[in-house]
């Protein structure tokens, strides 16, 4: 099977062109190929497929084999793949995901896509739609007890569930311990992606992320969008900000007129190859 390894600010996936390839067991293949010692090494597997409702479709599977609804960094790479490989000549395209159809505006330099702006849709705060097992219209600055310590979370869905915490020192946190405790907390019936955010100023946020099914990753596009939304509703940021993640920066803007959040960031190809199945 032919594959392409790509990343968006360090959030790396294995991409397979399913216009040409057939993947029988994507969950099992994601687990096998994502292993960084015995496989290719990645945060998961992304299948690029035809779509009846958009220009293309992406189906993604985390490194533990679970299927995810969306990934902001991966969708930019899908945009780069389909343009760079001649599957489209358009610089405005639509991609169908389990979180709905997303529109991308591609930045092309010397015939190759270097970055993309994505309409990530409207943030959802209703707990039953995230989902979060909590009452009320929103879960904002909500107290959660973990190992005898109280944390305050704001929950947002960007097509997948996020819990955002604002902390004083992001880099001092032990995410290997904290991340799984949040991911598997009974508040979250479908598990949760958790963002740990330090507000540097109203236009810059420093973020680390623990992704359900993948652990700590270098970046998370939907998590960056959720973090901006959470910061804004808590009065901690403006409606647009630079999100500084372990792998680099994303620029996030919450458009007041449409209610949608837009994400802009790079997309890079690492290498291509073939793997024996």
Is 110 one of the annotated binding-site residues? no
CB-neighbour burial class of residue 198 (10 A; exposed 0-12, middle 13-18, buried 19+): middle
Is 179 one of the annotated binding-site residues? no
Of 18, 71, 155, 225, catalytic: 71
CB of 155 within 8 A of CB of 187?
no
CB of 239 within 8 A of CB of 260?
no
Rounded to the nearest angstrom, the gap between the alpha carbon of residue 67 and the centroid of all alpha carbons in its chain is: 13
- The C-alpha atoms of residue 117 and residue 205 are separated, in whole angstroms, by 19
Is 221 one of the annotated binding-site residues? yes
Give the DSSP H/E element, type plus range, for residue 22: none
CB of 177 within 8 A of CB of 183?
no
Is 234 one of the annotated binding-site residues? no
Helices 72-84 and 221-233 meet at what angle, rounded to 10? 140
Is 10 one of the annotated binding-site residues? no
Is 160 one of the annotated binding-site residues? yes
Of 18, 155, 220, 225, catalytic: 220
Which pair of tokens denotes residue 29?
Answer: 């293949």
Is 174 one of the annotated binding-site residues? no
Told to judge if 71 belongs to the known catalytic residues of this protein, a careful annotator would answer: yes
Told to judge if 225 belongs to the known catalytic residues of this protein, a careful annotator would answer: no
Is 119 one of the annotated binding-site residues? no
Q: Is residue 158 classed as helix, strand or coil in its secondary structure?
A: coil
Q: Which residues have a Cβ under 8 Å from the Cβ of 63 and sit 6 or more positions away?
A: 30, 31, 34, 35, 42, 43, 44, 213, 214, 215
Binding residues for substrate: 11, 62, 72-73, 160, 193, 211-212, 221-222
| Residues forming the active site | 71, 220
């Amino acid at each position: 099977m032919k594959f392409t390894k790509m990343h968006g600010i360090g959030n790396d996936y294995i991409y397979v062109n399913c216009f040409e390839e057939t993947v029988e067991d994507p969950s099992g293949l994601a687990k096998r190929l994502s292993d960084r010692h015995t496989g290719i090494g990645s945060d998961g597997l992304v299948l690029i497929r035809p779509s009846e409702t958009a220009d293309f479709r992406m189906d993604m599977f985390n490194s533990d084999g679970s299927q995810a609804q969306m990934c902001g960094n991966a969708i930019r790479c899908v945009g780069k793949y389909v343009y760079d490989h001649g599957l489209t000549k358009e610089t405005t395209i639509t991609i169908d995901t389990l979180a709905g159809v997303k529109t991308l505006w591609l930045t092309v330099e010397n015939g190759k896509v270097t970055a993309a702006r994505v309409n990530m849709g409207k943030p959802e705060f209703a707990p039953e739609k995230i989902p979060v097992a909590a009452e009320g219209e929103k879960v904002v600055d909500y107290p959660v007890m973990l190992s005898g310590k109280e944390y305050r979370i704001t929950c947002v869905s960007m097509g997948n569930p996020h819990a955002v915490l604002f902390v004083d020192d992001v880099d001092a946190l032990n995410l290997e311990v904290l991340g799984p405790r949040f991911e598997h907390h009974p508040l979250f019936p479908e598990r949760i992606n958790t963002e740990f955010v330090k507000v540097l100023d109203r236009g810059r946020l420093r973020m680390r992320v623990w992704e359900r099914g993948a652990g700590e990753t270098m970046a998370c596009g939907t998590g960056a969008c959720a973090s901006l939304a959470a910061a804004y509703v808590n009065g901690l940021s403006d409606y647009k900000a630079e999100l500084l993640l372990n792998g680099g920066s994303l620029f996030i803007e919450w458009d007041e007129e449409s209610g949608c959040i837009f994400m802009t960031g790079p997309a890079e190809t690492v290498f291509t190859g073939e793997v024996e199945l």
